[in-house]
Structure 1
């Protein structure tokens, strides 16, 4: 459970080193107080309460929690709309490393949300989650319906990660939520999965729900369709008609590829030399390139559409997936005549997902590919968050 000390520290806007310096204690003391392992003196809390009182949340901001956070794509979108993250949950240790590198909150990231009690999550204005889609058990629900028995969301969603979203929403009753999932969520199990989610959010929890499939190709050079679920605790005038989508395909791959002409500085092992040329390690080996060509030819002969995707600077890419690290086959970049194509570099993947140049990539290429392939396209959700903002503020500030 969040301690009073930790809550006041966050409200005061002090980092652990700040608190140690201003309160006259070691950083070890500060960390133990944050974790609740020791109780600070009342005089310490008095100082913090006074400081926190000078930093109330302005009326133009709101708090949110970031569940199944990955590398923080939804957080980035919410912060752009004036949100302040007060709790994060992400189980993958490599994603946690990237998250910490880009959002140094001086507070731990909760691991498996299934092991976090509702009371241990701070009250918040908005719940944000890109929850994984696990199979829902529909059979038990159908049987209860046939027998005329009442059933609630816990019966239908227990054992799925959506259940954890629902139980936190039921306990905290946030003013709004923003959920994201793959487009196929709507058709999974002949529509039964989405029906359970819809019924849980609206009938069981009483939220006004808006859903829309949005293609990231309106914002980034990538065909990437995702279902966006926006909800409000009370009736609002929110409308998808207010969402402003740029012209589809307005950005092409040339805007995210390394220029390789010296106009950008070399970065790590992604690019080398004064012209920042893409490292040779990203060019496919003769063996892999031959295998992908043979594989595509075999499926073409069977009338199937399976195969690699080859793109240039004027194209829009296929969907970047978490399996990109295996062979890069869905998005291969043409090179000079006679050269094998290459994979995107992790930095190019970051750009393809809408992350800025200052986004840090502290993990291996394999982990980076997985992380960006699992991420949201940030500009899509930043636009959604901006359209949610006035309705959120209206609910929490009146």
Structure 2
């Protein structure tokens, strides 16, 4: 089976598809650093750096499976979804590149990943009708990465597109959850004292609350809701890894943010997967990525069902 990867980012979808025995022949993204990272890890793949709204699909190889992760920022509540926001409207419109690619190549299968709020987009019904007009059934699957052996809870929507008589609903495996403790190295990283001048009172309050529940070692988010005021046990998966440093590790009287290597492991990438040297850039790519083990399990199930 041959695949192409639209909005390929740093390569999580490609990595997972190749784990499932699928050759990803072409990958496209608008970000130069994402393309460079993808190419460093998948040198056999043809790479294109461009706005996929402008893609010439005749230059894309024929394929059996189209993988696509259109921009999610215009849908996610974490970034706001207000209408008439030019940036968010432009982000949401990237989904139409998927329709354009399907129309030209008509592959047997497609797999589109996004946040669950994608189906709340005002134009989603029109987008779905356009996909269906091309002969595809649309089967939504809401998947938590933790159920696929990834050490974080990360819920994402996967739309399976198939040129079949009925929607292709998959039977996905339910793998054992992996605790956050498995991906954390307490002997490494840049630790700083918890009690130091300038430490935010809200941070100190979170730490105090976490200590009451979990003792001297736990993780907590620096921003966001959920575990924001209570901390989180290392015996369970992390919460969602985002595009900027979110998870802080508390160890006695010291604390630090998770390293890029730990974020890579939390996303389910192999240890040898190459990342940009700059921490902020690496975390940004990881937070935008598809978890490879999730892609592996879904693509494997598609191959078995198709």
Which range, TM-score by smaller chain? Answer: 0.7 to 0.9
Which consecutive residues of structure 1, in runs of 5 or more, have no partner in the other structure?
Answer: 1-61, 140-156, 261-276, 298-303, 393-398
1:368–1:160 distance in 2 versus 1, CA, 3 Å: same
For 2:242, what is the secondary structure of its paired residue? coil
* CA RMSD between the two structures: 3.1
TM-score (norm 2): 0.80
Which consecutive residues of structure 2, in runs of 5 or more, have no partner in the other structure?
Answer: 76-80, 85-89, 208-223
Are 1:205 and 2:119 counterparts?
Answer: no
What is aligned with 1:216? 145
Shift, 1:321, TM fit: 0.9
Looking at secondary structure, tell me which structure has more helix per residue: 1
In 1, distance between residues paired with 2:283 and 2:292? 16
In 1, distance between residues paired with 2:198 and 2:10? 30
In 2, distance between residues paired with 1:108 and 1:222? 29
Alignment of 1:261-300 (within 5 A): 277-280=187-190, 286=196, 289-290=199-200, 292-293=202-203
Q: Deviations over 1:57-115 (max 9, x none)?
A: xxxxx111111001111111211222111211011122122112111127443322122
What is aligned with 2:12? 73
In 1, distance between residues paired with 2:288 and 2:64? 25
Greater gyration radius: 1
In 1, distance between residues paired with 2:205 and 2:173? 41
In 2, distance between residues paired with 1:321 and 1:158? 17
After TM superposition, the runs of 4+ consecutive aligned structure 1 residues lying more than 3 A away are 133-136, 281-289, 294-297, 304-312
In 2, distance between residues paired with 1:198 and 1:388? 20
Contact 1:308/1:332 (<8 A) preserved: no
Contact 1:101/1:362 (<8 A) preserved: no
What is aligned with 1:233? 163
**Larger relative contact order, structure 1 or 2 (CA cutoff 8 Å, min sep 6):** 2
In 1, distance between residues paired with 2:193 and 2:68? 36
What is aligned with 1:257? 184
For 1:89, what is the secondary structure of its paired residue? strand
For 1:310, what is the secondary structure of its paired residue? coil
Looking at secondary structure, tell me which structure has more strand per residue: 2
Alignment of 1:39-50 (within 5 A): none
For 2:16, what is the secondary structure of its paired residue? helix
